[in-house]
Amino acid sequence: MTHSFALHIADAVLEPEPLDPARIVSGTPEVTGKVVERSADGRQLRGIWQITPGVVTDTEADELFVVISGSATIEVAEGPTLRVGPGDLAVLRAGDRTTWTVHETLRKAYVIRL
């Protein structure tokens, strides 16, 4: 278990994360991120994630996130269309099939339950 900590999300240094080219619908989006904490049983991740403009598809995990900067439209197949920007909190359900249209580089803080 780690000790309590604070981190300024906007200044956090993120590492490149591979993006499967088959998921890219348009543009040349790039993804970076950092897991800042993992539960002892490995079933919960807390971290920071960023994506540059473009359109990508994904199959979601059970996730709660807060947008720090940027904006996107997230279309959930057979569900709602979410428009998110700075200060917005969103919840995605495990198995949701989504299409992300990233308008401005989006940075978010997240908690994922596996």
How large a percentage of the chain has pLDDT more than 70? 98
The CA distance from 93 to 84, in Å, is 16
User: What's the average model confidence in pLDDT over 31-45?
Assistant: 96
Q: Tell me, what's the pLDDT at 113?
A: 97
User: Against a cut of 0.75, is the pTM above it?
Assistant: yes
How far is CA 77 from each of CA 1, 29, 74, 80, rounded to the nearest angstrom?
Answer: 37, 21, 10, 8
Q: Tell me, what's the pLDDT at 3?
A: 87
Per-residue pLDDT for 2 more than 70? no
Give the pLDDT confidence of 87-100 residue by residue, as tens digits.
Answer: 999 999 999 999 99
Tokens of 34: 């950092």
Residue 40 domain boundaries: 14-113
Query: What CATH number corresponds to the domain at position 49?
Result: 2.60.120.10
Give the pLDDT confidence of 47-67 residue by residue, as tens digits.
Answer: 999 999 999 999 999 999 999
Domain-located, residue 49:
yes
Mean pLDDT of the chain: 96
Domain-located, residue 59:
yes
Domain count, the chain: 1
Domain-located, residue 80:
yes
CA quadruple 61, 65, 68, 72: dihedral sign: positive
Per-residue pLDDT for 44 more than 80? yes
Question: What is the DSSP code (8-state) at residue 18?
Answer: -
User: What's the average model confidence in pLDDT over 12-37?
Assistant: 97
